[in-house]
């Protein structure tokens, strides 16, 4: 059912993703994580989204808490086509996501979070919502679909290339210049004495 929902709605749907909530579901976030590990985890999530959705990743907004924001990066950025937002210092990511939910079209918005507060906000607005686990599952299915599509396209391209007569003419053009590969002599095994006009007469003695 979730796959049908994603396939039906992905053309117009905007995904508001609770970043650290999804990282917990991925097993990439712990209470003892240091800044370098957090950055690695964030990049892993963004890479997974981009790898699964391709150009459609531009429909995804990922929110992270300000408390873990890198000091050398802006509060908003585009990474692999994905809009990444770190909440301001005075607010957490959940509050920022709630504000976005209120300003979005209910029919075109899906909230990705296991946080009950955000799920309730999505229901009040009439938005769709997915758990982090369901979202990750759909990303994996989309990733496999993209890989299969690229494989089919590559196979079709090879078939078209191999079926092109001009390719084979080019491939074997050098054989026209090989004297050992000329046409066979049709008279090579012919006894020419049969055509000399000297017919042997039978002996009557």
Distance CA 37, CA 43 (A): 10
| Its pTM surpasses 0.85 | no
Q: What is the torsional sign of CA 111, 112, 113, 116?
A: positive
* CB contact burial 150-167 (16+ within 10 A = b; e otherwise): eeeeeeeeeeeeeeeeee
Which pLDDT tens digit goes with each residue over 90-120? 889 999 999 999 999 999 999 999 999 999 9
Per-residue pLDDT, averaged over 44-54, amounts to: 95
Domains of the chain (ranges; CATH) run 2-150 (3.40.50)
Please state whether 81 falls in left (phi above 0), alpha (psi between -120 and 50) or beta.
Answer: left
% of the chain with per-residue pLDDT over 90: 50
Which pLDDT tens digit goes with each residue over 126-145? 999 999 999 999 999 999 99
Higher pLDDT, 186 or 110: 110
């Amino acid at each position: 059912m979730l796959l049908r929902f994603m396939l039906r709605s992905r053309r117009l749907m905007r995904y508001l993703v609770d970043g650290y909530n999804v990282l917990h579901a991925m097993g990439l976030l712990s209470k003892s994580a240091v800044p370098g590990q957090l950055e690695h985890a964030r990049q892993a999530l963004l890479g997974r989204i981009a790898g699964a959705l391709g150009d459609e990743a531009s429909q995804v907004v990922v929110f992270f808490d300000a408390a873990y924001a890198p000091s050398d990066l802006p509060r908003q950025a585009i990474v692999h086509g994905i809009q990444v937002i770190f909440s301001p210092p005075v607010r957490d990511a959940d509050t920022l996501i709630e504000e976005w939910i209120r300003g979005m079209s209910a029919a075109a918005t899906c909230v990705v979070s296991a946080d009950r507060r955000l799920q309730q906000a999505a229901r009040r607005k009439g938005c769709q919502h997915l758990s982090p686990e369901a979202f990750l599952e759909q990303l994996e299915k989309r990733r496999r679909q993209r890989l299969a599509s690229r494989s089919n396209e590559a196979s079709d391209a090879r078939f078209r290339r191999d079926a092109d007569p001009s390719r084979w003419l080019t491939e074997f053009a050098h054989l026209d210049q090989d004297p050992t590969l000329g046409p066979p002599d049709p008279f090579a095994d012919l006894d020419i004495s049969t055509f000399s006009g000297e017919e042997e007469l039978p002996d009557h003695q």
